[in-house]
Amino acid sequence: MNRRDFLTSVGAATVAALVPTAALAGPRPDYSNLLILIELKGGNDGLNTVIPYSSGEYYSLRPRIAIPRDQVLQLDSATGLHPALEPLMPLWRSRELAIVQGMGYPSPNLSHFRSIEIWDTAANSSEYLNEGWLTRAFVQTPPARSFAADGVIVGAAELGPMAGSGTRAIALTNPEQFIRQARFAAPTMQASSGALRHILKVESDIVHAAAGITADYPLQTEFAKTPFGNAIRTAAQVVASKAGVAAIKVSLNGFDTHSAQQGTQARLLKDLAEGLAALKSALVETGRWQSSLILTYAEFGRRPAENQSGGTDHGTASAHFVLGGRVKGGLYGEAPSLNGLDGNGNLARSVDFRELYATVLERWWGTDSAAVLRGRYTPLDLVRA
């Protein structure tokens, strides 16, 4: 029985508990390769982001909200981008932007909370896991203690993929303020309850991170004066700090467009594209573009047929972006099949999101993915060594 069979038959969680971490992990992962996650909260409408503009079904499903063919930024003869994504076109042309279409998972759940929990914990639709997928990765093979933190969540209170115990996740909004306030943290005691243990651990992580994060790197890049632009600036400041981090997460809110979608989504996609372009510029400036991988993700896409309110309801599979200096640009996955919708009128998936996570774990960090993802997923071939 080889290890792969053993993993599938016994279950990865059991294996992780039985086998010493080092034996399972293989070579030391390379966390000098940075991962940046961008969550599009609320469920971005993939069909109006990466648009099948040559499809008649697309226009008949969306008489009010389809993006007119002549406004689409054409990528090839069938697929194009929403016009507000113009700032991404230079990345597409330099082949540093990959677009993965049809990302989802089996038995999709249409609830925001449950579905983002599935993405954050890399769970099956029917299983409930407490720790995020990055937490499991960092527990399996921890980033160097010299890092300021394993991961930084910018501007949000929920830790998402870094939730759960055993990892050093720091949430911060503003690095200067974080460093100034860290003086209030001084953990000294033993914990009697789980709640107290949590508080003490946060105190200890604060002290460590404050010693490693610098807030004064003189970035030349200009950032949009929006909350997302500020969050991207904070992410760039964290990257520029001498003590590294392995992962950063930034969120952009407001994609739950049940009504009057057009204006809202256009504004959000513009914010997204400008933020990503600024992030690239800052990473180039700090010499990190070649060692950064940026992924967008969301709980789900939206329903192909527009609803009565000029919006779209919760859907399933969607398109996402992968960017970075070592990304092999192009289209991945399959274009949405609008003739083959499921019983709820939703799209079938062509790529499991865990294949993308496996890509991060194996191709980007060089660590084993089976225990983290609780199964074997084939990485996508979209990063260069």
By CB under 8 A, name the binding residues for another protein. 110-114, 153, 155-159, 169-174, 176-178, 181-182, 184-185, 187-190, 192-196, 198-200, 202-203, 205-206, 209, 227, 253, 258-259, 307-309, 313-314, 344
Phi, psi of 73, rounded to the nearest 5 degrees: -85, 105
Distance CA 224, CA 254 (A): 17
Of the pair 53, 223, the CB lying nearest another protein is at 223
Of the pair 115, 367, the CB lying nearest another protein is at 115
Distance CA 220, CA 235 (A): 14
Of the pair 156, 331, the CB lying nearest another protein is at 156
Of the pair 87, 227, the CB lying nearest another protein is at 227
Of the pair 146, 177, the CB lying nearest another protein is at 177
Strands 97-104 vs 169-172: parallel, antiparallel or unpaired: unpaired
Least distance CB 1 / another protein (angstroms):
34
Question: Which residue shows structure tokens 């981090």?
Answer: 245
Quick one: which H or E segment has residue 280? helix 261-285
Least distance CB 173 / another protein (angstroms):
6
Distance CA 49, CA 262 (A): 11
Of the pair 74, 226, the CB lying nearest another protein is at 226
Is 203 buried (19+), middle (13-18) or exposed (0-12) by CB count in 10 A?
middle
CA nearest neighbour of 287 among 321, 234, 230, 242: 242
Least distance CB 135 / another protein (angstroms):
13
What is the Cα Rg of the chain in Å?
Answer: 21
Least distance CB 171 / another protein (angstroms):
4
Of the pair 222, 342, the CB lying nearest another protein is at 342
Residue 36 near residue 248 (C-beta atoms within 8 A): yes
Least distance CB 38 / another protein (angstroms):
16
Of the pair 23, 189, the CB lying nearest another protein is at 189
Of the pair 79, 251, the CB lying nearest another protein is at 251
Angle between helices 227-240 and 261-285 (to 10 degrees): 20
Q: Measured between alpha carbons, how far is residue 204 from residues 142, 184, 213, 273 in Å?
A: 17, 11, 15, 36
Distance CA 48, CA 52 (A): 9
Instruction: Name the DSSP letter for residue 364.
Output: I
Phi, psi of 252, rounded to the nearest 5 degrees: -125, 125
Question: Which residue shows structure tokens 């290890």?
Answer: 3
- Cβ atoms within 10 Å, residue 83: 16
Least distance CB 195 / another protein (angstroms):
5
Structure tokens at 2: 């080889």
Least distance CB 333 / another protein (angstroms):
25
- Under 8 Å CB-to-CB from 140, ≥6 apart: which residues? 16, 21, 24, 25, 367, 368, 371, 372
Of the pair 17, 189, the CB lying nearest another protein is at 189
Least distance CB 357 / another protein (angstroms):
23
Least distance CB 329 / another protein (angstroms):
32
Residue 277 near residue 88 (C-beta atoms within 8 A): yes
Least distance CB 107 / another protein (angstroms):
10
